[in-house]
Amino acid sequence: MTSVPCCTPRRSGAAAPGAKKLKFALAGNANVGKSALFNHLTGMSQHVANWPGKTVEMAEGKLLFHDCEIGVIDLPGIYSFSTFSLEERVSEEYILKEKPDAVINVIDSAALERNLFFTLQLLGLGVPVVIALNQADVARRRGIRIDAKKLSRLLGVPVVPTVATKGVGVQELILRCMDSTGKKAKRGVCKPCPKSPSIALSKCIYAKAAKIASKVQESAPPADGLAERLDDITTHGLFGYAIMFLVLGGVFYSIFTVGGFLSSEIGNFFNAFRPPPSALAENLIWEGLVGGFVAGLTLVLPFVLPFYFLLSILEDTGYITRVAYLLDGLAHRIGFHGKAIIPLLLGYGCNVPACIGCRMMEYERDRLITAFAVTLIPCTARTVVILALVGAFLGIQWALAIYALNLVVVAILAKLAFKILPGEPVGLIMEMPRYRMPSLSVVVKQTIFRTKSLLTIVFPYYMAGGLLLALLQLAGALGALDSILSPVTVGWLGLPAFAGTLLLFGIVRKEMVIIVPAILYGTADLGALFTPVQMVVLTIVTIFYIPCLATIETLRREFGWKKALAISVFEMVFAVLLGAVAAHILDTFFF
């Protein structure tokens, strides 16, 4: 590898006055190490942005290098430029319209031929390109040797071997990008494919990629190593499922153990500042404004932070794609895409990042069905309601029964949405990366980055929405709304008249359903305010009746107001009908 001056990119601080500003974009297939390279370059100076008018997420950050301020954009991982995937269209539009000073094409050194298909398409755009031949250490361990200089001559662009997780080759990569700014990619030795129909053009590009790879790459016979044996076991028709349930069970046990402890400790700390129960106005303002901030700390952060940390480990090792592979068959029978398992699992922590996570699916239909199902998953706040209202007073068996009911309802409604929405089911097409040891720095940075992006949505809506409802309550407006809603809450559901206030507060934060009674009536004994039937019915309605404000806003950003409103209205009507049926059955057979 060519030696470069000893200099370290700075990820924070201000550029010198008059410093040159550049913009580099990272492009490449999924699971090639783009995120690792992005994290190494930008550190914590990152934020999430959407391409204007689209819902595809792009991470942005900056670094200072040789007195230049460099903006770095991490484009979605794609395999080609086409019109089939929103991510593919957005990536091509960004490169052509925003015209970054250089495009860093990140390639997996252990899968050169497959990655070159995208590289050749990228070179066809005529933009400055520098290739990061990433995961060079993995390729060496697999007996793969790539002549980077020869590959550079064939493609007509700089090629730099890198190991992004360790920072190897990154400084040289940035220097080559700076040298390439303003220069179009050369044609290299290989000739362009003639203009032809898309299928013939794809065949031409694949043939060219194979020819180039054969000229620059030497491979020894792969050894049946630990990674291969582990892959065989974890995708096995029997052992694979057993391991998956153990892993996911361990993840959720860890999340709720750690999250429950942290939530309790944070809650106890802030409870010391809570106004006395008799001060109704102060309590409402506290729960409306301060309580929104505290709820984010006690109900979101303690559970989402360990979830993101463990999810990042599963992603970095490559195991999460095995989970999607194993569950693809079951998911399709219900109406989901195999990748849907990831946002659905995330929904048990918080629905907001789960809805955002639906972007990993290529087609709008799959994204919408999964997001709809995600909004029905009992998040941390709903779990608080289930455990505090049903589990604490009626027993854990009733809490588990509600979870079971939730799974059945989600499966049925997803199947109906699958049949009603236009479009055809799409098979699972997903990169299956090799197993690798996770990088602690990558995992930590990814966890902080995701958590920070989530909290910027959750906290404002928790605080602003809660304060508005508190002011309405103090003005006496919610009493009138209770009367308006009483035909539904009292007549249909058999709940107390004040349940209307609880459900309205629950739109902001679900756990307010059990907090507000203590504020209004100065007691934490919910058994004195509700009958057993009312406890179960109120819990069922709370789980299903409408997403929280932060989730509705996320749906609006992802799918537009019409779809967000349609999902919210449907769930409200469905929850009332389901609650009424549950009330009748419980009165008749159980209580």
Residue 130 has pLDDT above 90, yes or no: yes
182 and 256 housed in the same domain:
no
Query: Helix-strand-coil percent breakdown of the chain, rounded to 5?
Result: 65, 10, 25
- pLDDT in the model for residue 300: 63
Q: Which of 53, 54, 90 is nearest to 73 (CA)?
A: 90
Mean pLDDT of the chain: 79
Query: What's the average model confidence in pLDDT over 164-169?
Result: 82
Among 170, 190, 219, where does a domain finish?
A: 219
Q: How confident is the model at residue 7 (pLDDT cuts 50, 70, 90)?
A: very low
- pLDDT in the model for residue 135: 86
Q: Is residue 471 part of a domain?
A: yes
Asked whether 366 and 419 are in contact (CB, 8 A), the reply is: no
Residue 71 has pLDDT above 70, yes or no: yes
Q: Is residue 435 part of a domain?
A: no
- pLDDT in the model for residue 103: 92
Q: Is residue 431 part of a domain?
A: no
Q: Which of 447, 444, 436, 508 is nearest to 472 (CA)?
A: 508
395 and 493 housed in the same domain:
yes
Q: Which of 55, 44, 126, 63 is nearest to 85 (CA)?
A: 55
Query: What's the average model confidence in pLDDT over 194-218?
Result: 79
Question: How far apart, in Å, are the Cα atoms of 381 and each of 293, 386, 515, 543?
Answer: 14, 9, 11, 10
Instruction: Give CA–CA dist 34/75, Å, rounded.
Output: 9
Q: Is residue 547 part of a domain?
A: yes
Query: What's the average model confidence in pLDDT over 496-502?
Result: 87
188 and 80 housed in the same domain:
yes
Q: Which residue has the higher pLDDT, 406 or 330?
A: 406
- pLDDT in the model for residue 519: 66
Among 164, 186, 219, where does a domain finish?
A: 219
180 and 256 housed in the same domain:
no
370 and 487 housed in the same domain:
yes
Lowest average pLDDT, out of 43-47, 157-161, 371-375, 488-492, goes to 43-47
38 and 151 housed in the same domain:
yes
Structural domain range at position 315: 239-425+440-589
Instruction: Give CA–CA dist 386/440, Å, rounded.
Output: 35
Among 165, 189, 219, where does a domain finish?
A: 219
145 and 47 housed in the same domain:
yes
Q: Is residue 234 part of a domain?
A: no
199 and 281 housed in the same domain:
no
322 and 365 housed in the same domain:
yes
Q: Is residue 167 part of a domain?
A: yes
For 266-310, write each residue's pLDDT tens digit: 777 877 776 665 566 666 666 666 666 766 676 667 767 787 788
For 443-485, write each residue's pLDDT tens digit: 887 787 777 766 776 677 767 776 776 777 777 777 788 888 8
- pLDDT in the model for residue 474: 73
Q: What is the CATH number of the domain that holds 51?
A: 3.40.50.300
- pLDDT in the model for residue 278: 58
For 395-426, write each residue's pLDDT tens digit: 888 888 999 999 999 989 988 888 887 655 55
Query: What's the average model confidence in pLDDT over 145-155?
Result: 91
**Count: domains in the chain:** 2
458 and 512 housed in the same domain:
yes
Asked whether 299 and 381 are in contact (CB, 8 A), the reply is: yes
For 42-59, write each residue's pLDDT tens digit: 875 565 555 544 445 677
Q: Is residue 227 part of a domain?
A: no
327 and 453 housed in the same domain:
yes
251 and 137 housed in the same domain:
no
Q: Which residues pair with 46 in a beta bridge?
A: 61
Residue 527 has pLDDT above 90, yes or no: no
Q: Is residue 102 part of a domain?
A: yes
pTM given for the model: 0.61
For 86-100, write each residue's pLDDT tens digit: 677 778 888 888 889
Q: How confident is the model at residue 1 (pLDDT cuts 50, 70, 90)?
A: very low
Q: How confident is the model at residue 5 (pLDDT cuts 50, 70, 90)?
A: very low
